[in-house]
Amino acid sequence: MINCNPETVSTDFDTADKLYFEPVFWEHIYDIILHEKPKGVIVQLGGQTALKLAEKLERYGIPILGTSFKALDMAEDRGTFSKLLKKLDIPYPRFGVVQSTDQAMELADELGFPLLVRPSYVLGGQKMKIVINKDELMHHVVDILKDLPENQILLDHFLDGATEAEADAICDGENVQILGIMQHIEPAGIHSGDSYAVLPPYNLGDLIVAQIEEYTKRIAIALETVGLINIQFAIKDDKVYVIEANPRASRTVPFIAKSYKEPYVNYATKVMLKEKTLADLTFRPEKKGYSIKIPVFSFDKFPNVNKELGPEMKSTGEAIRFIDDLRDPYFLEVYSERNLYLSR
């Protein structure tokens, strides 16, 4: 394992037989690969940072275990991914790609406000913002181009007032096993890492859940996923839209695994290594009551940070609360405050 964050390995010291406590930069990783001569590298368990290194691994001929670089890149490239969704007959918010303020102004007239504005290929919702008029759009595009001059900028029509949900699944290239579907308590627009999420969904309804399951399976197979995938959805007027797909382990995989007492990462790794298919694995999740994913913030350590929540992630971790039913006082308290969080 290569990891520069001691917290992620300190409690699971038996996860790897060797730990390289190194910065996750290509130069360090390539030196380790030359020394260890591995059969391949798993990038799905390292978040967005690891996915960004997949292109270099592919270029240097180092095998990526699990989902291919081509599939990883297709999910990251919004234009290509949207063409895939169109081919699969799956709804998604209208969007466009721009590289200048003039292009952004022109596209805004076509898409309509509010807009979700973000640079492509970034981590944790960095520089992502919801804008409601042309002045805000102009200022934010200029801000992005100042810091990331070569980056493309994505403009999505923001589904205001939508409910957000996400699904995690394992795919072996042919079959899909959905691990769990979570419904966010806050409205769409809060970064998924900052939102309270409830497993299983608390009021989506059978028809919506069936659509989410169907879209998850279609996308996972179309991307030729081998291993884990996370897909985020927005639900508005009883219609399910796909916001994005991440063919990797998300922060919610350990949450689901602990909630259902199943070693899902272990299963996914066996699938990535081609040791097992989904047909060889037995899934017996313990489904009792509800689990709430609680974001943990460190605002007391950073007093000057803007505490308002939005599309850019600000949490530094999460906790779990188990409840027997939706009459639980904690759930009712969090649910009653759900509209107080969103900041544009």
Cβ atoms of 73 and 120 closer than 8 Å: no
Burial letters 116-136, b for 16+ CB under 10 A, else e: bbbbeebebbbbbbbbeeeeb
Which are the contacts of 331, defined by CB distance < 8 A and separation ≥ 6? Answer: 198, 202, 290, 292, 323
At the topology level of CATH, where does 94-157 sit?
A: Dna Ligase; domain 1 (3.30.1490)
Phi, psi of 289 (to 5 degrees): 70, -150
Q: Read off the tokens for 205.
A: 């309804």
Per-residue pLDDT of the chain (344 residues; tens, 9 = 90+): 888 877 766 666 677 888 888 888 899 999 999 999 999 999 998 877 888 899 999 999 999 999 999 988 888 877 788 889 999 999 998 888 888 888 899 999 888 888 888 887 655 456 778 888 989 899 889 888 888 777 788 888 888 888 999 999 999 999 999 999 999 998 887 888 888 999 999 999 999 999 999 999 999 999 999 999 999 999 999 999 999 898 998 889 999 999 999 999 999 999 999 999 999 999 999 999 999 999 988 888 877 777 777 777 888 888 999 999 999 999 999 998 875 444 44
Q: What is the architecture of the domain spanning 7-75?
A: 3-Layer(aba) Sandwich (3.40)
> In this structure, what is the dihedral angle of CA atoms 96, 99, 102, 106, given to the nearest 10 degrees?
-10
Domain-wise residue ranges, the chain: 7-75, 94-157, 163-340
Phi, psi of 328 (to 5 degrees): -60, 130
At the topology level of CATH, where does 163-340 sit?
A: D-amino Acid Aminotransferase; Chain A, domain 1 (3.30.470)
Global pTM value: 0.87
Place of tokens 């097992």: 276
Cβ atoms of 65 and 173 closer than 8 Å: no
Q: Which residue type occupies 51?
A: L
Cβ atoms of 248 and 232 closer than 8 Å: no
